[in-house]
Amino acid sequence: FYENLPPELQNAIERYDPAKYIAAASVMDNVLFGRVGNNHPDAPDRIRSIVYDILDELGLYAELLDVGLDFNVGSGGRRLTSGQRQKLDVARVLLKRPDFLILNRPLAALDQRMQDKVLRNVLEEARRDGHSPAIVWVVTNPAMAMMFDRVIVFDSGKLVEDGTPETLLAGNGIFKELAS
């Protein structure tokens, strides 16, 4: 998909790449995809404050207090757990405040309770300050779909259901079966 896009659109899309970590860099530098420039004297403090807020929303802040934002993530993020890497990836996306978020099972390494918590926080953070991006989220558990305004169900690559979670639960389709 990405490779077939025109170059001007490729630059507008941030792809998830599980190996996309800056080796020998801190958690903070990896959230920001690099170091903060010093063009403005207060930029590092302002950025750090924004990152703290987002990490707190995702439930990562407490974990990072133990190791610190200056913790070296290692080559390819190997010093982080898979769940921490997934949360870090979501934090990166939210920091960019995009108009469109497309996430394919971004929290699969987390238990269901933590997935629900992070998803709620992501939805709140994404809509902060009146920003309302379009969000396409492939869920790992049908119960998570209840947090969205619209649910689209595919079966063998074909669209089979489309509607609000409540409407689909009232019907006798695949979504009702999956959700029960």
Whether 131 shows a pLDDT value over 60: the answer reads yes
Choose between 139 and 84: higher pLDDT: 139
Measured CA angle at 78 (ends 73, 82), to 5 deg = 105
Whether 146 shows a pLDDT value over 80: the answer reads yes
Q: How confident is the model at residue 116 (pLDDT cuts 50, 70, 90)?
A: very high
pLDDT of residue 144: 95
DSSP string, 94-109: HHH--SEEEEESTTTT
How many residues does the structure list for the chain? 180
Joined tokens for residue 111: 């238990």
pLDDT of residue 119: 92
DSSP letter at 72 equals B
- Looking only at the bridges linking them, the beta strands covering 158-163 and 151-155 are antiparallel
CA atoms within 13 A of residue 91's CA, in its CB half-sphere: 27
CB-based contacts of 167: which residues, under 8 Å, 6+ apart? none
Choose between 159 and 90: higher pLDDT: 159
Residue corresponding to tokens 């063998």: 156
Q: Which domains, ranges and CATH numbers included, belong to the chain? A: 2-148 (3.40.50.300)
Q: How confident is the model at residue 2 (pLDDT cuts 50, 70, 90)?
A: low
CB-based contacts of 26: which residues, under 8 Å, 6+ apart? 69, 70, 71, 72, 73
pLDDT mean across residues, the chain: 78
Q: Which of 6-10, 79-83, 131-135 is the most confident on average? A: 131-135
Residue corresponding to tokens 């790992």: 140
pLDDT of residue 57: 74
pLDDT of residue 49: 77
Quote the pTM value. 0.64
Q: Which of 70-74, 78-82, 97-101, 123-127 has the lowest mean pLDDT?
A: 70-74
3-state secondary structure of 158: strand
User: How many C-beta neighbours within 10 Å does residue 141 have?
Assistant: 15
Q: For the chain, give the percent of residues with pLDDT over 90.
A: 28
The pLDDT tens digits of the residues spanning 14-71 come to 665 555 655 556 666 666 655 555 566 676 677 777 777 777 777 766 665 555 555 5
pLDDT of residue 90: 84
pLDDT of residue 62: 66
